[in-house]
């Protein structure tokens, strides 16, 4: 039994296919035969295509960025008290004032160091260290007071020094310090990375301890 030669391509046919130019070779030949004007047009089309790709990528990135919720930022005023840095939110503060004259009130709670007359308004000044049962390492320095005000109350918090106002993301807040428990922990929102204690002014002003008679001086 023999096989017919027609079932197999001849060597001549194989050589013919091998000698035929590929598609890439054809494109290269076409480019070689282009005129300068045609080359210029092709280059401009290529540049336009690249610009469209870059534009599409930029639009996609902008959409992705726009879908993200803006990070919540809190603006605070930092102040020093007994070498510890504290902060109160700006929207809880009415103002910061210099203490020039503080009048002591007999039989007042130990955390009330006295009252001031601020433009005709009598405002009690609170020592947060005593109020929050924090350790006290220094004697009282009558320097600055941060005035907090609600619809019903107006109270000043004693400060050794008002440092500055600044902003930081709420996501950077950590839990309260391990040494802070009980009342002092309840009145704090958290601690920043630089160990600044963010106080909750609203909770302090709403705390019943502020309006009840405790140990006096």
Look at residue 94 and tell me whether its pLDDT is greater than 90. yes
Domain parsing of the chain, residue ranges: 5-66, 73-211
CA distances, 121 to each of 2, 152, 159, 200, 201 (Å): 122, 13, 20, 24, 20
Which of 160, 157, 168 minimizes the C-alpha distance to 199? 157
> Which pLDDT value is given to residue 68?
60
Q: Which CATH number fits domain 73-211: 3.40.630.30, 2.60.40.1940, 2.40.50.180, 1.20.950.20?
A: 2.40.50.180
> Which pLDDT value is given to residue 133?
82
Q: 27-83 pLDDT, tens per residue? A: 555 556 778 777 777 877 888 788 787 778 877 776 766 556 667 888 999 999 888
d(CA 119, CA 121): 6
> Which pLDDT value is given to residue 176?
64
Q: 132-169 pLDDT, tens per residue? A: 887 777 677 778 999 998 888 899 999 989 999 999 88
CA dihedral 45, 50, 55, 60 (to 10 degrees): 130
> Which pLDDT value is given to residue 217?
58
Structure token digits, residue 217: 């001086």
Please compute the mean of the pLDDT values over residues 126-132 and round it to a whole number.
89
d(CA 153, CA 101): 21
* Residue 24: HSE in the Cβ half-sphere, 13 Å Cα cutoff: 0
Look at residue 8 and tell me whether its pLDDT is greater than 80. no
> Which pLDDT value is given to residue 53?
79
Please compute the mean of the pLDDT values over residues 5-17 and round it to a whole number.
48
> Which pLDDT value is given to residue 69?
62
d(CA 85, CA 79): 6
**77 neighbors 146 (Cβ within 8 angstroms):** yes
Q: 100-126 pLDDT, tens per residue? A: 889 999 988 989 999 999 999 999 999
């Amino acid at each position: 039994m023999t096989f017919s030669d027609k079932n197999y391509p001849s060597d001549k046919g194989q050589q013919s296919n091998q000698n035929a130019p590929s598609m890439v070779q054809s494109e290269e030949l076409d480019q070689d035969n282009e005129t300068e004007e045609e080359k210029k047009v092709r280059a401009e089309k290529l540049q336009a295509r690249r610009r469209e790709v870059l534009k599409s990528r930029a639009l996609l990135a902008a959409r992705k960025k726009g879908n993200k919720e803006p990070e919540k930022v809190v603006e605070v005023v930092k102040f020093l008290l007994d070498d510890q840095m504290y902060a109160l939110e700006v929207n809880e503060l009415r103002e910061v004032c210099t203490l020039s004259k503080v009048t002591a009130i007999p039989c007042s709670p130990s955390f009330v160091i006295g009252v001031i007359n601020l433009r005709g308004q009598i405002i009690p000044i609170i020592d947060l260290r005593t109020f929050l049962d924090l350790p006290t390492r220094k004697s009282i320095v009558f320097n600055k007071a941060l005035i907090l005000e609600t619809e019903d109350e107006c109270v000043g918090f004693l400060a050794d020094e008002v440092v500055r106002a600044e902003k930081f993301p709420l996501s950077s807040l950590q839990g309260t310090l391990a040494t802070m428990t009980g009342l002092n922990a309840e009145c704090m929102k958290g601690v920043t990375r630089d160990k600044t204690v963010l106080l909750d002014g609203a909770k302090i002003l709403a705390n019943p301890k502020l309006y009840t008679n405790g140990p006096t001086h």
